Amino acid sequence: MLRARFLIPLVVFAVMVVFLGVGLNLDPREVPSPLIDKPAPAFELPQLEAADKTFSQKDMLGKVWMLNVWASWCVSCREEHPHLVAFARTGAVPIYGLNYKDERAAGIAWLARFGNPYQLSAYDHQGQVGIDYGVYGVPETYLIDKAGVIRYKRIGIVTPEVIRDKILPLVKELNGNG
Partner 1 sequence: MGKLLALLLGLVLAGTALAREAPTVAADPVLEKRVMALAEELRCLVCQNQTIADSHADLAIDLKNQIREKLKAGMNEAQIKDYMVARYGDFVLYRPQVKATTVPLWFGPFALLLVAVAGLFYYIVRRRHAAPAQTLSEEEQAKVRALLDAPEERT
Chain residues binding partner 1 by CB under 8 A are 28-29, 31-35, 101, 127, 131-134, 136-137
| Shortest Å distance, C-beta 152 to partner 1 | 15
Q: Which of 69, 36, 48, 83 is nearest to 139 (CA)?
A: 69
In the complex, the smallest distance separating the C-beta of residue 41 from partner 1, rounded to whole angstroms, is 8
Q: Which secondary-structure segment (H or E) carries 112?
A: helix 104-114
Question: Nearer Cβ to partner 1, position 17 or 131?
Answer: 131
Question: Could you tell me the smallest distance in angstroms from the CB atom of residue 22 to partner 1?
Answer: 15
Exposure of 87 by Cβ count < 10 A (0-12 exposed, 13-18 middle, 19+ buried)? Answer: buried
User: Which one, 64 or 144, has the nearer CB to partner 1?
Assistant: 144
Cβ atoms of 150 and 37 within 8 Å: the answer is yes
* C-beta closer to partner 1: residue 33 or 54: 33
